Amino acid sequence: MGGTNKSEVVRSFPVDSLGISGVGRRHRRYTTHSALTVPALNNPEYVIDWPAEKEKYPHLQNLPLQHTDASKIGIILGLPEYCLQMPLECREGHRGSPTAIRTKLGWVAFSHVPAHSRTIQAKDEFLESALLHTA
């Protein structure tokens, strides 16, 4: 998830059945039978204000993109749920600009967002070093 975990053993616990829906898409619900819970993840701490960022890119302006806070990731879908993550539509701009894909769960955008557009607090030295070299 952007950081490293060299010394901690993370225990996971199985969940028999879990309902999943996209933000604002509660009328369409999917069920997974292979979910695991994890008490905490070693997530990077960064925030991207996609509703503001998308206004800079014509190909993203009309998409319902959500504010992203990586430190608050609530669920990670694994390979058994790949059908929920498959691209149904793709919006690409010029090289170096964000790309968005529409999945069964809704739209998701990804990109290297310039440092002035994000707030990042490194959790460990490795992540801090990686950010300094890629920002």
**Domain range summary for the chain, segments of one domain joined by +:** 42-134
pLDDT tens, per residue, the chain with 135 residues: 445 555 666 677 778 888 888 877 777 888 888 777 777 777 777 788 999 999 999 999 999 998 888 777 767 777 888 888 899 999 999 988 999 999 998 998 988 755 544 444 444 444 443 444 333
Residue 36 phi/psi, 5-degree rounding, is -125, 145
Report if pTM > 0.85.
Answer: no
Q: What CA–CA distance (Å, rounded) separates 110 from 90?
A: 11
Residue 3: the pLDDT is: 52
Residue 107: the pLDDT is: 92
What percent of the residues of the chain are helix, what percent strand, and what percent coil, each to the nearest 5? 20, 25, 50
- Are the C-beta atoms of residues 59 and 91 closer than 8 Å to each other? yes
Residue 4: the pLDDT is: 54
- Are the C-beta atoms of residues 88 and 97 closer than 8 Å to each other? no
Q: What CA–CA distance (Å, rounded) separates 81 from 17?
A: 13
Residue 9: the pLDDT is: 67
Three-class SS of residue 119? Answer: strand
